[in-house]
Every structure is written in C-alpha cells, then in structure tokens.
Amino acid sequence: MPPRQLPQLDLTGGLLAFLLPGLGHVYQGRVRRGLLAGSGVLALYTIGLLIGGLSIVDSRGEGRDVLDRIWFFGQILVGPLTLVVDQLHHRFDAPGSTVALKPALGKVYDMGVLFTAIAGLMNLVVLFDALMPREHPIDAEQRQPRTPPGPVTATVTPAAAMPATAMPATAMPGPVSDATNAAPSHKDPA
Amino acid sequence: MSTLAFAPFLEPLNALHGPWAWMLLPLALGIAVIFRAIREPEHRFWPRYIRGVAMLTLKITLGVLLLGVAFHLFARVWLPLVTPMPAGN
C-alpha cells in the first residue's frame, strides 16, 4: 500500500503509536516501518520482562529505593501494555495470590529494567516520527522527475512565439537594431 | 515441580547474573532495528536497512565498550594516581 499524503502533525497517528508501538506508522500507510519499529520495541520489552520477570514493572516501588520508580516513567512510554503488566505484578504480588512471583535482584534486575525502559524511550522516538512524519530527502528526490544532463537549450518564451507585428519593440528577439530599439538619448541632437 | 524449572515472566532469569554484559549485544541490535526502521528512505529500503542496522549495532557496541574502558581507566588508574591511598590500605 503506498503511503498516503503525510500531514505536518498527525495527532491520530501519534495516539495510535502510543496505544500500540508501530500502529501509528501502519495507520499512515508506512506499514513496513511500523511493523519493524513496533516489533523491535515489543521485542526489547519482552526480553526485559523475560530477564527480570513481571516484578521489574512497578509503579508503586514498594520496598525499593524511590529512585527506582523513575524507571517506570521510561517503561510507561511503551503504552498501556505497561499498565497491564503493572496490574498483573501487583495482583500476583498481593497476599493470598496463588501465583508465586519472585523478585529480580542485582544485575538481573538492572538488565530487565534497562531493556524495558529503553524499549519505552525508543517508542518515544517512534511516536514522534508518527506524530510529525517527514519524508526522507532521498525519497523526495526520487519522486521528482529527472531532467537529462546536457547543454542548456533556449526555452521558447511566450514572447518569442508571438508574431513580430504584435510584439513590442523592447521584446524583439535577435540583435538589437539601433533604428527600432535605440535607447532614448538624453543628448540634444543639436 | 522441580526447583530448577524456569517460569517465564514470573521469576527472573538468574542464569544471566554472570554473563549479563553479553546482553549488550541484543540491546544494541534492538535499538538499531527500531531506529533504522524509521530513518531509512523507502528507495532501496532493504539493502540500506540491513547495512544500517549492522553498522549502528556495531557503533553502539563499540561505543559502550569504549566508555567502559574509559571509566575503568578513570576509576582504576587515574583516581588512584591523584588520590593515593594511605600506606597500609
């Protein structure tokens, strides 16, 4: 599907890009970019969750340093998916839950948080590209019809196409004739 | 249930405690896949994209490695030179 004419500011595309990574580009007709960027963001996020488990997405930051909650602001940039993961985390962590959620510690926690937060930050880049789409200069150049290289030829102007009788003397092509096109002289002939 | 079984998403992948630094490679690859997807022109997309992803992955990896070397030299070589430890420590 060819990309449709891209507006200067596409709020719908930006909103869709926030709802699901890559969806804004797909909406704009840039399907290949959307699929690649979206699957990349989701892959980074999934790898992060696989490394650290659901416990690394924590909006409340209970039992952790306050600074650890800063990472949640990076993770939330992936979209509503982070809210779902956060809800699952707190549901599984609640007393009486039948699911045993083990917290990540040390380097494993760091790597999981790093992957998910970078996925969010990269989705911010993708979101801005969907919000303010720009055509690549190479694509713009390719769309322009190319002129064949060669010597510059004179173009026929409307004035040259006019009959000589209807042409004003100042627009006459060819060598300037003194008799017809002489510039007005300010000299006194006497 | 075996205690060695790994439950994805419910428990961390503790096997990565040792080789955690190798995770830089998929991280760099993921960043490159996303970034080049929105930066490459539509004209001759795939050759440019694959080359761009490979180059950006390499640049990120080498950049982080160089930063690691620089911080190592700063912390282990330069700092002990400018702030010598007292004798006996």
Which one of A32, A55, A138 has the shortest CB-CB distance to B43? A138
User: Contacts of residue A50 in chain B, CB cutoff 8 Å?
Assistant: 8-9, 13
Q: Are A64 and A56 in contact (CB under 8 A)?
A: no
**B30–A43: do the CB atoms touch at under 8 Å?**
yes
Per-residue pLDDT tens over the stretch A130-171: 999 988 888 888 877 666 666 655 555 555 555 545 445 444
Query: Would you say the ipTM is above 0.85?
Result: yes
By the 8 A CB rule, do A121 and A74 touch?
A: yes
Check: CB of residue B28 under 8 Å from CB of residue A31.
no
Give the single-character DSSP code of B42: S
Smallest Cα distance from A151 to chain B, Å = 29
Of A101, A125, A138, the CB nearest to B10: A101
Spatial contact of A106 and B17, defined as CB atoms under 8 Å apart: yes
Three-class DSSP category at B86: coil
Cα A142 from Cα A70, distance rounded (Å)? 44
At A107-138, the pLDDT tens digits run: 999 999 999 999 999 999 999 999 999 888 88
Q: Tell me if A100 and B10 make a contact (CB, 8 A cut-off).
A: yes
HEC sequence for A110-145? HHHHHHHHHHHHHHHHHHHHHHCCCCCHHHHHHHCC
- d(CA B49, nearest CA chain A) in Å: 10
The length of chain A, given as a count of residues:
190
Helix (H) or strand (E) holding A133: none
- For testing the chain A interface, which of B9, B17, B29, B36 should be mutated: the one with the most A CBs within 10 Å? B9
Highest mean pLDDT among A4-13, A141-150, B76-85: B76-85
Residue A62 amino acid letter: E
- Spatial contact of A85 and A57, defined as CB atoms under 8 Å apart: yes
Q: Which of B9, B17, B37 sits opposite A50 (nearest CB)?
A: B9
Q: Do residues A106 and B18 lie in contact, with contact meaning Cβ atoms separated by under 8 Å?
A: no
**Is pLDDT above 50 for A178?**
no
| 3-state DSSP helix/strand/coil % of chain B, to nearest 5 | 70, 0, 30
Between chain A and chain B, how many beta carbons pairs sit less than 8 Å apart? Answer: 105
Helical pair B24-39 and A106-131, crossing angle rounded to 10 deg: 0
Six-digit token string for A121: 């930050």
What contacts B2, CB < 8 A, 6 or more positions away? none
Q: Which of the two residues, A172 and B40, has the higher pLDDT score?
A: B40
**Mutate which of B3, B42, B45 to test chain A, going by most A C-beta atoms within 10 A?**
B42
Structure tokens given for A176: 């300037």
Backbone angles phi, psi at B49, to 5 degrees: -65, -45
Among candidate residues A39, A1, A6, A2, the one with its CA nearest the CA of residue A23 = A39
Tell me the residue length of chain B.
89
Encode pLDDT of A81-105 as tens digits: 999 999 999 899 888 888 888 888 8
Q: In angstroms, rounded to a whole number, what is the distance separating the alpha carbons of residues A34 and A41? A: 10
- pTM value is 0.77
Per-residue confidence at A183, pLDDT binned at 50, 70, 90? very low
The distance from CA A45 to its chain's CA centroid, rounded to whole angstroms, is 21
Helices and strands in chain A: count of H runs, count of E runs? 9, 0
